[in-house]
Amino acid sequence: MLLASAVVVWEWLNEHGRWRPYSPAVSHHIEAVIRSGPRVGGSVVLGQVDNRLSPYIIDLQSMHQFRQDTGTIRPVRRSYYDPSSAPGKGVVWEWENDNGTWTPYDMEVGITIQHAYEKQHPWIDLTAIGFCYIIDFSTMGQINRQTQRKRRVRRRLDMVYPLVTGTLPKSQSWPASPGVASTPPAPACTCPQCLLVMSIKAAVAAGSNGGTGVSVSQQQLLQQQQPPAQPPPPPRKAVSLSGSAKLPMPASIHKPQDGAATMRSSLKTLASQVSRRQAASTPALTTASSPASPTSANGKVTRASLNTLNRTNLQRLAIAQSRVLIASGVPTVPVKNLNGSSPVNPALAGITGILMSAAGLPVCLTRPPKLVLHPPPVSKSEIKSIPGISNTCRKTTKKQTKKGKTPEEVLKKYLQKVRHPPEEDCTICMERLSAPSGYKGPQPAIKPDLVGKLSKCGHMYHLHCLVAMYNNGNKDGSLQCPTCKTIYGVKTGTQPPGKMEYHLIPHSLPGHLDCKTIRIIYNIPPGVQGPEHPNPGKSFTARGFPRHCYLPESERGRKVLKLLLVAWDRRLIFAIGTSSTTGESDTVIWNEIHHKTEFGSNLTGHGYPDPNYLDNVLAELAAQGITEESTLQEKD
């Protein structure tokens, strides 16, 4: 059932399969473009409202977001939410990431958190919607139920998302009613790219009707390229696109005739080539098109449309545009899926050029970089062991239960009793340390008013609370301070049984051309959860195995591998939980130690070159209590 009124939130699909919301300002901008009708061309330039999004364009016809500097294409959608929910009130819930910046929750998660906040619940468990986190409103913290890791969260006010009323369209495509124009058609755009579109259409139509020659649109374009009678303006400064080199403008001030002559020559050759090819191999278009711009009933000229071109001609249009721009000396920007089988129409590449040209940014369409997940094939004789590291395989078995030590005995090693507690809160139960513990769960055999101080970091808690926390964890003889994450003892995880292989292959990673590559292969089969897992006795899945990961075979790369071996032996590489990629629960997931799974590229962010990766993963291992000292305690 469709609501009579709703707030509209535009969202994009990330690489993990999660729909991420655009900001309210961006959603307002997209809605304003939609209200403007087809005369805007069905595309939205996000950089007009947010400078950080300058590389991005949304094509409303295909409902895809296009990034100009990398060619990445992602689906977008137009979602509707209750006006009384968080987006209708301008409320945004965010969590603090590892870089110290704030990331908004997915819209449905933010709405769920806000609903519990308004109901004045002390906390909310997000397990029901597929996330193993608890949001504690008293401390404004997010707690990972499996690892007990805590992050800060915040609630802030922003613009209210756009409100729509009346009958809401079921379709998310644009326009909702293509046969009905809400506003009179506007005059045709006269920028070089639009004139090029019309010229190609005219050439195709002329070829199908047996005609030849240059169309009116081409003549307009050629006239536009003629040098002006007055002195030309000074050349524009170089424009830099995000992630790409600077694009200098052609120096036409010195030779104004060269660019025009090149454009005229390219267009004439193009027109004749397209005409001959169309007449020889392409059926006539089902929709008639004239050499000039289409004219409406009231006599006004409409904008050039790509809808009357079939797939073959759309590809020719994009290629033709590239040839013209290459001939004029314009640098190139890679575009993804130009000739692929993507659901995005191939004309999207041409649309990008049109928009960039209208914004004063020259562009030429070329083939994109390819995703390279794996190295070239390697024979068994080429696979070598890694110097300084014995063996090439490690296995883990089921957890060995440690006997003979109660929680009280374990904590006694790490705590000092506090006789006169200060007037501070215990950050576990949020009660005063001078008062009894507020823990309401199963009662440990210890007095609720006793307070202990951790020996390394000095943080103080109720002993009652620490025993309860230990009993809810892995019970492996270690303890981690819930405030500063200092680890006492040897921390182990709940990784299910599996195998870790590691060896040397004779190929180099991007950014590490001076050395070979360490390949790690993880393999964990599906099975049944044990008592240390979230749902004991229930089966779990293991998707995507074997998983291949890569390190440079440098001194630091070998150091990281040694620490990863320690993490594997301590069962800290993987865990069982809910996948952030698919939303599937009771499955094997990564456990906060990032790996590089992309061998020859970095299109997904999980590849090379990445100059900070080795430093980052060493910091993540240290957060799990694994440092160089750990290797001295473990066998190679």
For residue 503, the domain's CATH number is 3.30.390.130
Q: Which of 147, 165, 183 is the last residue of a domain?
A: 165
pLDDT at residue 197 tops 70: no
521 part of a folded domain: yes
pLDDT, mean of residues 405-415: 86
**What average pLDDT does the segment 21-41 reach?**
82
Give a yes or no: residue 397 inside a domain: no
Q: What is the pLDDT of residue 440?
A: 78
Q: Is residue 517 part of a domain?
A: yes
CA dihedral 503, 508, 511, 515 (to 10 degrees): 70
* Last residue in a domain, options 105, 137, 165: 165
> Does position 279 have pLDDT exceeding 50, yes or no?
no
Tell whether 435 and 577 lie within a shared domain.
no
Number of domains in the chain: 3
- Return d(Cα 54, Cα 131) in angstroms, integer: 32
The residue-averaged pLDDT of 528-552 equals 93
Please tell me whether residues 453 and 521 are part of one structural domain. no
Question: How far is residue 481's CA from residue 484's CA, in Å, rounded to a whole number?
Answer: 6
pLDDT digits (tens, 9 = 90+) for 161-196: 998 876 655 444 344 433 333 334 445 555 444 455
Do residues 423 and 527 both lie within one domain?
no
β-sheet bridge partners, residue 237: none
Q: Tell me: cis bond preceding 175? Omega within 30 of 0 counts.
A: yes
Tell me if 326 is assigned to some domain.
no
Task: Name the residue among 289, 283, 301, 350 with its Cα closest to residue 62.
Answer: 350
Same domain, 476 and 562: no
Instruction: Domain of residue 526: give its range.
Output: 497-633
Q: Are residues 38 and 152 in the same domain?
A: yes
User: Is 362 within the bounds of a domain?
Assistant: no
Both tokens of residue 475? 């019970």
Cα end-to-end distance, the chain, whole Å? 62
Within this chain, do residues 588 and 460 fall inside the same structural domain, yes or no? no
537 and 475 in one domain? Answer: no
Domain boundary residue, one of 120, 139, 165: 165
Task: Check which CATH number belongs to the domain holding 478 and give it.
Answer: 3.30.40.10
Please check whether residue 373 lies inside any domain of the structure: no
Question: CA-CA distance, 7 to 161, in Å (whole number)?
Answer: 6
pLDDT digits over 379-394, tens only? 999 999 999 898 889 8
Share of the chain above pLDDT 90, in %: 36
Residue 93 belongs to domain with CATH number = 3.30.720.50
pLDDT of 590 higher than 90? yes
Q: What pTM was estimated for this model as a whole?
A: 0.48
Task: Please tell me whether residues 20 and 139 are part of one structural domain.
Answer: yes
Q: Are residues 150 and 30 in the same domain?
A: yes
In a domain, 74, yes or no: yes
**Measured between alpha carbons, how far is 428 from 438 in angstroms, rounded to an integer?**
9
Asked whether residue 186 is domain-assigned, the answer is no
Question: Does the pLDDT of residue 36 top 90, yes or no?
Answer: no
* 579 in Cβ contact with 589 (< 8 Å): yes
Above pLDDT 70, what percent of the chain? 64
Q: Are residues 422 and 532 in the same domain?
A: no
Do 610 and 564 have their domain in common? yes
**463 and 502 in one domain?**
no
More confident: 249 or 443? 443
Peptide bond into 546 cis (omega under 30): yes
